[in-house]
């Protein structure tokens, strides 16, 4: 079994897979009579002809080490995950290699940071750490097959 170390997430390292959903150093503009910072267009919703929808996912937790044996992707639209609670979580992604997932990469994502996965990016299932967590999810609804799942040889993710 392959073992990988989860690394702290950075915008630069995550860029091949999508964007981080985190406020910028400075807001795009001030709104609401100067009381609210707007950090505009942190990511774009790819919808491949469908509609953008907003959902809440409630996921059971895992603890590290964690064995990842399933990856999925959504070829027709992006998928954004924003945690609604105070806990860190794990984002597992993999490059595409000829229509199949390559070697997985695991990122430790601190509380308050979300990710937007581009259309077609291989990723693990939603993985909160240590306790059940809710996530606001923005993704695509519409015609066409927008989910591919692949079982992989288990990869153990360690802290």
Residue closest to 88 by CA, chosen among 3, 9, 5: 9
Q: If you average pLDDT over residues 132-147, what whole number do you get?
A: 97
- List, as one string, the DSSP characters of 85-141: SS--EEEEEE-EETTEE-S-EEEEE-TT-EEEEPTT-EEEPPEEBSS-EEEEEEEEE
Q: If you average pLDDT over residues 46-55, what whole number do you get?
A: 96
pTM of this prediction exceeds 0.85: yes
> Which residues neighbour 116 within 8 Å (Cβ) at sequence distance 6 or greater?
18, 19, 20, 21, 42, 43, 44, 45, 78, 79, 80, 138
CATH of the domain at 35: 2.60.120.480
CA angle 11, 113, 80 (to 5 degrees): 85
Contact by Cβ (8 Å): 153, 67:
no
Whether residue 1 has pLDDT greater than 90: no
Q: How many CB atoms lie within 10 A of CB 75?
A: 15
| Mean of all residue pLDDT scores within the chain | 97
Residue the block writes with tokens 């288990």: 154
The domain total for the chain is: 1
Give the range of the structural domain holding residue 78, as residue numbers without chain letter: 2-158
Tell me the sheet residues that pair with 4. 157
Q: Residue 147, SS3? A: coil
Residue the block writes with tokens 């927008």: 146
Q: For 27-43, how does the pLDDT look when each residue is reduced to its tens digit (9 = 90+)?
A: 999 999 999 999 999 99
For 8, counting Cβ atoms within 10 Å of its Cβ (0-12 exposed, 13-18 middle, 19+ buried), the class is exposed
Q: If you average pLDDT over residues 87-99, what whole number do you get?
A: 97
| pLDDT value, residue 109 | 98
High-pLDDT (> 70) share of the chain, %: 100
């Amino acid at each position: 079994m392959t073992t990988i170390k989860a690394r702290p997430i950075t915008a630069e390292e995550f860029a091949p897979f999508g964007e981080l959903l985190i406020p910028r150093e400075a807001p795009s503009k001030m709104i609401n009579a100067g009381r609210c910072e707007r950090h505009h267009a942190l990511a774009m919703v790819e919808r491949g002809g469908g509609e953008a929808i907003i959902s809440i996912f409630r996921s059971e937790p895992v603890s590290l080490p964690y064995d990842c044996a399933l990856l999925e992707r959504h070829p027709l639209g992006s998928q954004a995950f924003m945690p609604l609670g105070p806990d860190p979580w794990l984002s597992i992604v993999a490059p595409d290699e000829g229509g199949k997932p390559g070697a997985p990469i695991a990122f430790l994502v601190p509380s308050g940071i979300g990710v937007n996965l581009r259309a077609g990016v291989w990723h693990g299932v939603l993985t909160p750490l240590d306790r059940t967590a809710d996530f606001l999810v923005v993704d695509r609804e519409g015609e066409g097959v927008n989910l591919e799942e692949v079982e992989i040889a288990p990869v153990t993710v360690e802290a």
